[in-house]
Amino acid sequence: MTETSLKTYKKQTEATNRIFHHIVGEHPGSTMVFFGGIHGNEYAGVKALDSVLKNINTKEVYGEIYGVYGNIKALEQNKRFLKSDLNRMWTLKQLKALKHNVELNEEEQEQEELFYFLNKLLAKTKSPLYFIDLHTTSSKSLPFITINDALINRKFSSCFPVPIVLGIEEYLEGPLLSYLNTLGYVSLGFESGQHTDPSAITNCEAFIHLALKNAGNLKSTDAKRHENELIKATKKVSSIFEVIYKYHIKPKEDFAMENGFESFQNIKKGALLAITDGIKIYSDYNAKLFMPLYQKSGNDGFFIIRSIPRFYLKLSELLRKIHADNLLTVLPGISWHNKNSGVLKANLKVTRFMAKSIFHLFGYRNKQVDKTHLLLYNRERVSKNEMYKNEQWY
């Protein structure tokens, strides 16, 4: 066996071991992929998947269901990650580097195996594909969904009685689900509660049942019971929110949240939120706090979110369906960077006078690429709408 084929065989073997559940139904249907433990200190997703999937009767399954380990090495040590955050590595630059790097660190090895699994799956599967990444938070929290702001994600997420948070991709670099969204697939994250809270597992179990029901993999699930479980856990909060701010922790920064905060807690402008390097951090918003950090690892100190009016959501849906974003290129300083991929290039001298909400309305989230320009990304132009148009929720 040549060195190249030996490496491929090793990746294939490790990718197979990474799949801890694979159910092939007796009826045709969609393919559902659940990831658990992308962060190694978040066990709820793994435990919930094992509890639900091992008790499913194959005869009742339509399509295929996968339960996939995320960061196996970090799970073994109960750490978020060992060398680098596996859920911040899914950039095109990093994926290209995997092919050329001779020595890979722990997370790069994990990523290589996951990447192999995904490529193999995408090459063989023609049915509608769903990707769901299961997480927990370091603070107390209601269960919630996070999505990249594409209409197919909005539509599928609306099947669940939990809060939905849009726009987090604008503040994070390289999440797994953002990569899958660039390929056009339905992909969402479900945060089931605090790391060590037993209810995080039961919330996750309820969500898994509903995901399989809504994607058509299971017809006989007691959906009403699971919906009621999540309605109770979310305290009947089911609004759609948008991230408007993130506090980013710099390397070697001594950051500490003030005690007692929870996700979705109302905060007022001027409220003391954290202390970093002896400097007090106050809120600039009357809004809601989101995912305050109460663990040593990670650089997302906290987020701030606000609810999105239903009118705005309906308007943005209409504008996207008629491709009204073509009008943006009429503005000075804005041109297509890659039209097929839905990427605009904008001069900062122009866009600094335009509210972010205008771009969000048309489906664009921005990333600054240099001192003078932004790249604005739109998921609608790559969404595989044809793949999902016959699904019951579409």
Q: Decide if 394 is inside a domain.
A: no
Query: What letters, b where the CB count within 10 A reaches 16 and e where it falls short, cover 179-191?
Result: bbbbebbbbbbbb
Q: What is the CATH number of the domain that holds 273?
A: 2.40.50.100
**Domain ends where: 220, 238, 256?**
238
**Cα 264 to Cα 151: distance, rounded to the nearest angstrom:** 24
Do 283 and 219 lie in a common domain? no
pLDDT in tens, the chain (394 residues): 334 433 443 455 555 689 999 999 999 999 999 999 999 999 999 999 999 999 999 999 999 999 999 999 999 999 999 999 999 999 989 999 888 887 899 999 999 999 999 999 999 999 999 999 999 999 999 999 999 999 999 999 999 999 999 999 899 999 999 999 999 999 999 999 999 999 999 999 999 999 999 999 998 889 999 999 999 999 989 899 999 999 999 999 999 999 999 999 999 999 999 999 999 999 999 999 999 999 998 899 999 999 999 999 999 999 999 999 999 999 888 999 998 888 999 998 888 777 788 899 999 987 767 788 888 889 898 999 999 999 999 9
Do 368 and 295 lie in a common domain? no
Do 73 and 89 lie in a common domain? yes
**Domain ends where: 272, 307, 342?**
307
- State pLDDT tens for residues 251-260: 999 999 999 9
- State pLDDT tens for residues 158-202: 999 999 999 998 999 999 999 999 999 999 999 999 999 999 999
Residue 158's nearest CA partner among 196, 116, 201, 210 is: 210
**Cα 207 to Cα 48: distance, rounded to the nearest angstrom:** 9
Do 162 and 262 lie in a common domain? no
Residue 139's nearest CA partner among 179, 191, 183 is: 191
Tell me the sheet residues that pair with 110. none
Do 37 and 183 lie in a common domain? yes
Phi, psi dihedral angles at 10 (to 5 degrees):
-65, -45
Instruction: Say if residues 246 and 284 touch (Cβ distance below 8 Å).
Output: no
DSSP state of 89: -
The pairing of strands 287-290 and 300-307 is: antiparallel
Do 213 and 247 lie in a common domain? no
Task: Count how many domains the chain has.
Answer: 3
Q: Decide if 226 is inside a domain.
A: yes
CB neighbours of residue 308 within 10 Å: 19
Q: Which domain holds residue 339?
A: 323-378
Q: Decide if 312 is inside a domain.
A: no
Do 18 and 133 lie in a common domain? yes
Do 51 and 134 lie in a common domain? yes
Q: Decide if 315 is inside a domain.
A: no
Instruction: Say if residues 73 and 110 touch (Cβ distance below 8 Å).
Output: yes
Tokens of 260: 């007692």
Q: Decide if 389 is inside a domain.
A: no
**Cα 376 to Cα 342: distance, rounded to the nearest angstrom:** 8
Q: Decide if 266 is inside a domain.
A: yes
Q: Decide if 80 is inside a domain.
A: yes
Residue 355's nearest CA partner among 267, 244, 247 is: 244
Q: Decide if 169 is inside a domain.
A: yes
**Domain ends where: 277, 307, 337?**
307
Q: What is the CATH number of the domain that holds 27?
A: 3.40.630.10
E strand spans, 42-106: 62-69
